[in-house]
Structure 1
Amino acid sequence: MFVIVSRYLIPKGFRGITLFPFIIVSEHDLKQNPVMINHEKIHIRQQIELLILPFFIWYGLEFLIRWIIYKDKNTAYRNISFEKEAYANEKDLYYLKQRSFWKFLSYL
């Protein structure tokens, strides 16, 4: 895992993004934010479990389905199973040590 700082690689309105094996954050101080990094590490684990490319396909399809359901991009984003798992557990810095395989499925 590598943490990169770049405002230009982050979509507008976001502070970070994970593209295995990289965590890209918008500001230098976010590299030292344990909650932010843990959130992104959860996405790294999810990407590994789904062999990377299927993760992004699933993520995109789930976003589109939830956007149709909620008719709001932010609500759709927050209800993606991968994001629900990451947001629910980002403050638990030991979460990945005890997380079960494909745990994101319980957030569908």
Structure 2
Amino acid sequence: MKKKKKKKKKKKKKKKKEEEEEEEEEKEKEERGRRGALSSSSSSSSSSSSSSIVVVVVIVVVVVVVVVVVTVVVVELVVAIVVVVVVVVVVVVVVVVVIVVVVIVVVRGGGGRSTAA
């Protein structure tokens, strides 16, 4: 129980540190906004929104690429498995046909000797 309490305290400390960092960042943004209010306050807000849009677009592109790659790999694996199964089935069928033909020739030909030879 004591260990769990210590872990919770550590998490709270981390949260407090993160909150303090966020507050500092917000203060810096406000100061920048005050400085830029004389020249152009809209440019700073548009740049922050455009950067967030860029981050979202990058995340979406990465997710789409990962999904496509995984899909292609899975499809290739399925195709490879199907090809292997088909090859194995064809080989088994050919072997069975050869065995049947040899048995028929042996039974009819009398010991495997053909009359043509």
TM-score interval for Structure 1 and Structure 2 normalised by the shorter chain: under 0.3
- Bigger CA radius of gyration: 2
- TM-score norm. by structure 2 comes to 0.23
Report the structure, 1 or 2, having the larger helix content: 2
Structure scoring higher RCO (CA < 8 A, sep ≥ 6) equals 1
Report the structure, 1 or 2, having the larger strand content: 1
